[in-house]
Structure 1
Amino acid sequence: MFSILFSLLTNDLTLIVIMLLLPLGAFYYIYTYPKFQSQVLKVQTGDEAIKIILYMVIYLKLHPSFEGAVNFAAEHAKGPISKDIKKAMWDLQVGKYKTVEEALSAYMQKWVVWNEDFVRSISLLYGVMTEPSEEGRERILRKSLDFLLTNTYRKMKVYVENITGPINILHIMGLLLPVMGLIMFPMISMFLHESINPFALVIGYIAILPVVLYFFMNRILLKRPSAFMVPDISKHPDLPPPNMYMIKTANGKKTFIPILPLALIVGFLIMSYGIFHFIDLYGRLSIVTKPLQQDILMEEAELSIKNLASTFSISAGFGIMFFLYFYLRSFQRIKIRNNIKNIESEFQIGLFSLGNYLSEGFPIEKAIIKTLEEYEKLGMQKRPTFDFFTKLLYNIKNFSMTFKRAMFDKKYGIIVYFPSVLIDEVMRILADASEKSSVLLGNIAKTIGTYLEDLSKIEAKIRELLEDVRAGIKMQAGFVVPLVCAITGSLGIFMINMLKLLAEQLEQIEKNLGIGLLGGEGFGASNLLNDLLGDFTKVMPMTVLQAVVGIYTVEVVALFALLLNGIENGFDKVSRDHLIAQMVLRAIVIYGAVSILSLILFHGVILNIMKSTGMGT
């Protein structure tokens, strides 16, 4: 309340608007928070439900025990449903309920609200225990998983339809209108500086607007049905700790460098020229008289290498700071992450091949050799799955390990090199089956391969649904934003120089006619410029304007890269960091190139005008 009264007393329109919007924004957040959190919880349970049903189906294929399947799924899934299942199974153990069905039924009413499809899939799985034939059990298992996967695809389709509107609003409110505002920025700075505080607009662009954009983008992403598992590569032995960059010396010693301080140091070193320039500019403007202030501001509006270097050093330094931070966070992780995703996408093929040889009666070691030979015949030695089976065979042959130890041994197990939740759980199931017989292991491998193929088909369909949205955001963030912002920054300098030429022409006319056109006889070009713009000494320096536009460009591109990755990959932090680094670097290059070309073009236009009016002679 006091801040609003202060704004009214200061008669600052921009400050008044900001102070009115802040409490409205806080009210909106508090008012919508409960409903939003309930929607997020439903989305999270949808992701968890797929994993629980998948684990139960795979377990029931191996062991005809519904209670065991429920325990297995609750043990390996994480989320609110698995917590409820663990509580239900505990109540069953202490005698509160007599059967698994009764224990789970106590939570069904709650789960129906969260995810009705999950409850229906559980109900379908109940029929496995009463179905006498193997074909009938297989049909029930497949139907329960297919039912949930089909509805997951349907939910993602609804999500894509629902986010089209919010993304369009984000595009208009967060990109189109602000960019149009940037186009008006030079004119606001020059013509409306007495009514609207340009420096308050600067704070709005580089601080308030990005925060608002992030808030709404995060809300869109939190509602995304996350149908697929994100690789957790944090425990991979070849990776540095989080937020550290690893350098290997010639003697093999590992050195870890903190990423954030490095990015800040490099960024500020690049920005140092511009920072010192603006400190010097502020110092000079604060001690000189108004006529000299006007001369200094005109120098800041000149199309010179000095001004370009001071502004672009700020934009480039800020962008390089972003780029280095996100690039170094993802550079040593993205290849491993992509390998894991590639293995997951083609894992069912390897399982089918391995399962076929095991079903024929080959022992596990021979079946793996046959699978590798099949990959070699097809020229697929560079596939990550080939590397997976090669490492597995190496442990079995060289260390005389069992299948289970070769995978999960604490010291030599290969699972640490393939940190996929999906692969980990599948291989644990196969490891249990390997202790019984090769034929059973083969049948299980082929069954799991079939289920994984179904998951891959749904994932491919979902990616098709997201393609149009993804392409639109990529075009906006990767090209349109840096292009328009670069032209806008140069436009302010062009307009100031054009007004300067106009004032000089009016001054010449005054001298020729002997009268004062705007303010009386004897007014020079500097006073005419004040007549055109008001008090020219209050105009924002054009170099400051360009620096602000450059910073805003980097922030918006990073935010839209965050949105793009979230829609495409969910909450995959490695791909998020890699995409932000890529798009920010591309934006810096486009912004710098277009800025230079625009300034050269505008400079040429001004020179032509000067020649045509005789001012260049």
Structure 2
Amino acid sequence: VAFNFSVYFFSAILYIVVYMRHTPNLERAIAFASDHLQYPLSLDFKKVFYNVEVGGFSTIKESLDNYLDTWRDYSPEFIESFHLIEGSLFEPDNTRRISTLEKALQVILDGVYDKMLKFTHNVRSPLTNVYMLGVVLPTLALALLPLASAMLGGMLTWVHVFLLFNLIVPFFVFYLTDKILMLRPGGYGETSLLEKNPLYPEYKSNKHYTKAFLICLPFFIIGLLPFIISSLFSRLTLTVVVGLIPSQSPPP
């Protein structure tokens, strides 16, 4: 949930700074940001005004500070940027006021950069695990499968190979990759302008998944044919050999 909000933090600060560069009014700047931001952060900014209207707080600043406290542990740079924006209202000189606003924008940028840098350092070990599981393990396993099958006396069949390399290993690779991606910090803001593109319904459609499935299905079946033919040939050979061995009748 925090990631869904954090992707709009930079956009929120940018909208407020752009507005306050020519109009030093915090209330109107927040209203401007709430009108142009995407859900869910836009709804939070509207709630800042709502809390003042219903009497929860006497000023916008008090309501805003109460809202910023909810992000104190997750995004301190977002709070610091807002405090710099609030402090720019008390600058007597217009040049210093604009400089403070630009510093607020730089603070949120540096915060996003530091989080991304920390993420790149922490993600090395998980990515190594994904590489070992998704690339190294299947390669080594396929090289050692004949030896393992001989040592197990034919207990290892194509069914076990199919389940291991087509279901179990891809599932764990997908799970670990998705877990790593969920840890990444937010640093971008999605926009609804894409939905206005006339080709957006075609982009959003799932028809290409169906086409890809139909294209890949024959190759998938062809890939399974060696295992199926080998299994049938082994059973047929075993049946023929058993049929050629004369049955020994018990001595009289």
| Interval of TM-score (by shorter of Structure 1 and Structure 2) | 0.7 to 0.9
**Structure 2 residue matching 1:148: 3-state secondary structure:** helix
In structure 1, the residue matched to 2:100 is: 140
Once the two structures are superposed, the pairs formed by residues 444-463 of structure 1 within 5 Å of their partners are none
CA 56–200 in structure 1, closer or farther in 2 if over 3 Å, else same: same
State the alpha-carbon separation in 2 of the partners of residues 94 and 241 from structure 1: 45
**Structure 1 residue matching 2:132: 3-state secondary structure:** helix
Q: Is the aligned partner of 1:187 residue 2:155?
A: no
**Structure 2 residue matching 1:241: 3-state secondary structure:** helix
Is the 8 Å Cα contact of residues 48 and 79 (structure 1) preserved in structure 2? Answer: no
State the alpha-carbon separation in 2 of the partners of residues 182 and 108 from structure 1: 54
RMSD over aligned CA atoms reads 3.0
In structure 2, the residue matched to 1:264 is: 213
Q: Is the aligned partner of 1:49 residue 2:9?
A: yes
Q: Is the aligned partner of 1:235 residue 2:193?
A: no
* Residue of structure 2 aligned with 1:177, choices 137, 161, 182: 137
Percent identical residues: 25
TM-superposed deviation, 1:90:
0.8
In structure 2, the residue matched to 1:390 is: none
TM-superposed deviation, 1:112:
0.5
In structure 1, the residue matched to 2:182 is: 222
TM-superposed deviation, 1:201:
3.6
TM-superposed deviation, 1:135:
0.3
CA 140–110 in structure 1, closer or farther in 2 if over 3 Å, else same: same
In structure 1, the residue matched to 2:164 is: 204
Structure 2 residue identity aligned to 1:235: K
Per-residue CA deviation, residues 174-193 of structure 1 (Å, 9 max, x unaligned), is 32233222221222233325
Per-residue CA deviation, residues 518-561 of structure 1 (Å, 9 max, x unaligned), is xxxxxxxxxxxxxxxxxxxxxxxxxxxxxxxxxxxxxxxxxxxx
In structure 2, the residue matched to 1:321 is: none
Per-residue CA deviation, residues 17-55 of structure 1 (Å, 9 max, x unaligned), is xxxxxxxxxxxxxxxxxxxxxxxx444443221111111
When structure 1 is superposed on structure 2, of 106-115 and 260-269 the one drifting more is: 260-269
Per-residue CA deviation, residues 264-314 of structure 1 (Å, 9 max, x unaligned), is 33333455666677666666655x3516489xxxxxxxxxxxxxxxxxxxx
Per-residue CA deviation, residues 59-118 of structure 1 (Å, 9 max, x unaligned), is 112322201111222233345554333222111123332211011122232120221111
In structure 2, the residue matched to 1:149 is: 109
Is the 8 Å Cα contact of residues 8 and 188 (structure 2) preserved in structure 1? Answer: no
CA 157–280 in structure 1, closer or farther in 2 if over 3 Å, else same: closer
State the alpha-carbon separation in 1 of the partners of residues 99 and 217 from structure 2: 63
Once the two structures are superposed, the pairs formed by residues 91-490 of structure 1 within 5 Å of their partners are 91-194=51-154, 196=156, 199-229=159-189, 233-238=194-199, 241-242=202-203, 244=205, 258-270=207-219, 288-290=236-238, 292=240
Gap regions ≥5 residues in structure 1:
1-40, 246-257, 295-617
TM-superposed deviation, 1:209:
1.0
In structure 2, the residue matched to 1:90 is: 50
TM-superposed deviation, 1:130:
2.0
TM-superposed deviation, 1:126:
0.6
Structure 1 residue identity aligned to 2:238: K
Is the 8 Å Cα contact of residues 42 and 115 (structure 1) preserved in structure 2? Answer: no
State the alpha-carbon separation in 2 of the partners of residues 49 and 152 from structure 1: 10
Is the 8 Å Cα contact of residues 71 and 86 (structure 1) preserved in structure 2? Answer: yes
State the alpha-carbon separation in 2 of the partners of residues 67 and 55 from structure 1: 13
State the alpha-carbon separation in 2 of the partners of residues 191 and 207 from structure 1: 24
TM-superposed deviation, 1:153:
0.9
Per-residue CA deviation, residues 377-403 of structure 1 (Å, 9 max, x unaligned), is xxxxxxxxxxxxxxxxxxxxxxxxxxx
TM-superposed deviation, 1:127:
1.6
**Structure 2 residue matching 1:165: 3-state secondary structure:** helix
Once the two structures are superposed, the pairs formed by residues 503-514 of structure 1 within 5 Å of their partners are none
TM-score (norm 1): 0.36
State the alpha-carbon separation in 2 of the partners of residues 293 and 244 from structure 1: 56
CA 184–114 in structure 1, closer or farther in 2 if over 3 Å, else same: same
* Higher RCO, 1 vs 2 (CA within 8 Å, ≥6 residues apart): 2
CA 171–78 in structure 1, closer or farther in 2 if over 3 Å, else same: same
State the alpha-carbon separation in 2 of the partners of residues 117 and 217 from structure 1: 28
TM-superposed deviation, 1:235:
3.1
Per-residue CA deviation, residues 491-528 of structure 1 (Å, 9 max, x unaligned), is xxxxxxxxxxxxxxxxxxxxxxxxxxxxxxxxxxxxxx
TM-superposed deviation, 1:124:
0.8
State the alpha-carbon separation in 2 of the partners of residues 183 and 279 from structure 1: 20
Is the 8 Å Cα contact of residues 7 and 190 (structure 2) preserved in structure 1? Answer: no
State the alpha-carbon separation in 2 of the partners of residues 226 and 173 from structure 1: 27
CA 290–211 in structure 1, closer or farther in 2 if over 3 Å, else same: same
CA 261–166 in structure 1, closer or farther in 2 if over 3 Å, else same: closer
Structure 2 residue identity aligned to 1:172: M
TM-superposed deviation, 1:150:
1.1
State the alpha-carbon separation in 1 of the partners of residues 13 and 62 from structure 2: 18
State the alpha-carbon separation in 2 of the partners of residues 208 and 275 from structure 1: 17
TM-score (norm 2): 0.80
CA 224–275 in structure 1, closer or farther in 2 if over 3 Å, else same: closer
Gap regions ≥5 residues in structure 2:
243-252
